[in-house]
Amino acid sequence: MERRGTVKCTIISSSFESPSAELVKDVQTIIDPEVNQGKGMGFAPIGHTVTIKGAVSVSIHVTTTLTLEAGISVSQVKADVENVIADYLRTLRMSWKEEDRTVVRVSQLEARILNVKGIADIADTKLNGKGANVELDTEELPVMGTVTLNG
C-alpha cells in the first residue's frame, strides 16, 4: 500500500523574524521543489508533499501610564522602555519553536519596564488596545509596534 503525506512547515529567519520570500522559496526548493512537488526531487520522500510558509509578523502596540521619579520626564525614559519591550518580544521570538502558542504578557512587560531607571510605577498597560495578554497562533511572531507612554 502506497502512503502519501502532506506536511506544512512554518519557518522564521536566523534573526528570529519573518523570513523573506526568497528564503521561503529557497527552503521550498531544497525540501520539495514546487515544480516536482511530491516526486522526491528534494529532501522530502516520494509521495510526500511539503509546503514551506514563513511566519507572519504581528505588531504589538503598547500603551501605558508611568509614574516617574522626581525630575524625570517621559522623553528621558522612552528609548529605554522601547528597548525593554523590543528585548522581551525578541525573547519570545527566540523561543517560538519551543511553544505551540506565543503569549505576550502584560505582567512580563510591566515587570521589565519597572526596572527602567527613573520609573517608579506603571499602570493601565494595554496591548493592541486591550488590557489583556495577546495570544498568537503558531504561525505568528510578535514584533514591536507603536509605544505610547503617558506620565
Whose cell is 522564521? That residue is: 12
Whether the CB-CB separation of 15 and 57 falls below 8 Å is answered with: no
Taking CA atoms, 119 is separated from 31, 89, 104, 114, 149, in Å, by 50, 20, 21, 6, 11
- Average the pLDDT over 78-82 and give the result: 98
pLDDT over 90 (residue 35): no
Q: What is the pTM of this model?
A: 0.87
Residue 100, Cα to own-chain centre: how many angstroms? 13
Q: Give the cell for residue 52.
A: 514551506
Assign residue 47 a region (left: φ > 0; alpha: ψ between -120 and 50; beta: otherwise): left
pLDDT higher for 147 or 46? Answer: 147
pLDDT tens digits for range 95-131: 998 888 899 999 999 999 999 999 999 999 999 999 9
Q: Which phi and psi (to 5°) does residue 24 adopt?
A: -60, -45
Higher-confidence residue: 128 or 40?
128
For residue 81, is pLDDT > 60?
yes
